[in-house]
Amino acid sequence: MRFKKYLNEAPIASKGWTMESIKKFEKSVGIKADEKGFFNTCVLKMKNKDGFDSEKAEGFCASIKDAKSGSPMWRGKGKSEKEVKQDTKHNKFKKKLPEK
């Protein structure tokens, strides 16, 4: 899946998300955020929720996956690290979320 240059990704840490809340969310999705298939499954789950369209669902799910993996490099299929950093530089996230 190709990502738009700028996804609407407010850092989830600023919204009160912690690693504990990410683990709880993973259970509702059925796949851990650092496993293959999480992103697509998460987007399918979220895109029809109130306040989410496809773009917001992609941004939200990408932000969860970024936080869990500690890096946006999972998005870099076929891209150099420099290209991934360029694509995600406007949507920074905290690398470490608080446990609680």
Mean pLDDT by runs of 10 across the 100 residues of the chain is 42 76 93 92 92 86 85 70 66 52
Which residue, chain included where needed, has tokens 């029809």? 48
Q: How many domains does the chain have?
A: 1
Any domain includes 41: yes
Any domain includes 4: no
Which residue, chain included where needed, has tokens 């059925």? 30
Any domain includes 8: no
**What distances in angstroms separate CA 98 from CA 20, 24, 68, 94, one per listed residue?**
8, 14, 11, 10
Residues 6+ away with beta carbon under 8 Å from 85 = 72
Q: Is the pTM of this model over 0.75?
A: no
Which residue, chain included where needed, has tokens 């009160």? 16
End-to-end Cα distance, the chain: 32
